[in-house]
Structure formats: C-alpha cells, structure tokens
Amino acid sequence: MYADLDGTLVGPGGSLFAAKEGGFSTSTVEALRCLHEAGVALVLMSGRTRRGLGEVARVLGAAAYIAELGALIVERDNGRERAVHNFGVFSGEGSPAEAILRSGAGAYLLERFARRLEPVAPWTEATLMFQGWVDPAEADAALAEAGYGWLRLHDNGRMLRRLPHLDVGEVHAMHLLPQGVDKGSAVRLHRNRSGLPLESAVAVGDSPSDLLAAPEVSVFFLVANGTESVRADSAPANTYVTGGAYGEGFAEAIQAVLGR
C-alpha cells in the first residue's frame, strides 16, 4: 500500500484523528491496524523532506517512505534506514536542490510569477518547495523558454490555509524538481527493488502528484477531498474515488483491498 500522508492519511492540521469539517475519527488508526495485521507493507509517499517524514514512518510502522515527491526512497529494516536516490535527469555534482539553487531557476519562478508563489522549507535535499499557485503546464513552458527545461513544477495538492499577500484563489504545495522525478517513478523503482509486481500494489492519495503513481499500481484510490485538486474524469481508468475524505477515505481503500 503506497499511501500519501498529508490530506490522505492525516486530515486538516496534520492530525491522524482529524476528519472533514472539524470532526474526529479513529478510522485511520483502525485501518492501519487491519493493514498491519494482514501483513500488507505500508510505504508512505509525501512531499515532505526525509527529515520531516522519517519519524512519522517509524510511528506508523511503514516499511519504507518516499520523500520530496519521489526524489528519495528510504528503505527501513529493523531500525536501520537506507536512502535510494531517484534524481531523474540530474547527474551533476552535489544535490539536485543545490544545483537548482545555483541555476537561478527558483529565483526565476519567483520573479516570473510574482505574488503567486513564495518559497518554503529551505533544508531540502532534492527539491525547491513553494506555496501558492501556478498552473504547472504554464510554469514548465516558462522554465523551458528560460533555459530550465531540465526542471518541472509539480502540484502536490491544495493546502488548507490562506495567504492574503499572494494573488491566488487557492494555496497549493508546489515542488520544483528535475525532470523524471515524481511519485510514479519512485513507486516503480521501489517495486522493482522489492520484487513486487504491479498487480500486488495499490496506492491512495489526494493530489495530482499522487495520481502519477496510478500507472504503477493495480488500483489507485483518490480520497474524496482530492476531487478539489483532481478532476475525476481525467484520472486513469484504474482510479476509484472514495466516498470518504482524508483518513476515512484511506480506511475505505484499506477495506476494499482487504475485502472487508
């Protein structure tokens, strides 16, 4: 089970117990119990950094976790962790994040889309993170025109916050990454390393970046709140939209996988 974290496993405010519209739910905890009892491996996939995801993976008993939108795959074994790089077209010295900073691509986006993006999380290893909103296709075209065609801007879903100083209707988590880096390529790499056939893998998420994992699994579950960022009719054929949002949608996915 490849599971997104924010907006999927955890609800508003990043709580495992948060439900839609301020409610309280234990559905996620119960679903995780059933998953572990059935012997199904949990792999978290998130835009969070390795630093921000490792402890969560330990607490939830995840077998592995995919950080920075697919750039880092961390395999866990008896408390030991091994990081596998998934850097796409990047092959230079240092980290992709350092190369992106040196290139000026981040500064270019902030200037080109002024008052639509602002930077966050400067301690990354592979990506530059922004919050705000720009159509990724528009951003990618601008990057290519400016000589940054090796980079792509990804939409990691809507954030439940308001930023009045930005001229955007919604605030999304946006990630600037080397071409070829995404959750789909990370899931494929992890499956290959684990010897896991596509037919034995499922995924659940809430954002366009999560949906890129759909071709790499047998079934992709889009939790109900994900329809705010993803048009269900544009999703791959193996996508199923859950009736529940956040953790309740995750629980619904687990029930379907386990046949309960």
Q: DSSP letters along 73-104, please?
A: EEEEETTEEEEEE--TT--SSS-HHHHHHHHT
76 and 100 both lie in a single domain? no
231: confidence class by pLDDT, cuts 50, 70, 90: confident
151 and 190 both lie in a single domain? no
In this predicted structure, the answer to whether residue 32 has a pLDDT above a threshold of 90 is yes
Domain end call among 160, 178, 196: 178
162: confidence class by pLDDT, cuts 50, 70, 90: confident
Residues 6+ apart with CB under 8 A from 130: 109, 110, 117, 118, 119, 120, 173, 174, 175, 176
| Residue 154, phi-psi category: left (phi > 0), alpha (psi -120 to 50), beta (remainder) | beta
Domain end call among 145, 178, 211: 178
State the total domains in the chain: 2
Domain end call among 131, 151, 178: 178
Residue 91 lies in a domain: no
63 and 134 both lie in a single domain? no
Closest CA to 95 of 178, 21, 212: 178
Name the DSSP letter for residue 7: T
81 and 185 both lie in a single domain? yes
DSSP β-ladder status, 202-205 and 219-222:
parallel
20 and 134 both lie in a single domain? no
Cα 191–Cα 197–Cα 199 angle in degrees, nearest 5: 120
d(Cα 188, Cα 104) in Å, to the nearest integer? 30
DSSP string, 149-175: TTEEEEEEEEES---TTS--SSEEEEE
At 239, which CATH number?
3.40.50.1000
d(Cα 214, Cα 205) in Å, to the nearest integer? 10
6 and 80 both lie in a single domain? yes
Range of the domain at 44: 2-86+181-258
72 and 187 both lie in a single domain? yes
- Per-residue pLDDT of 84-116, as tens digits, reads 999 999 998 889 999 999 999 999 999 999 999
112 and 233 both lie in a single domain? no
6 and 82 both lie in a single domain? yes
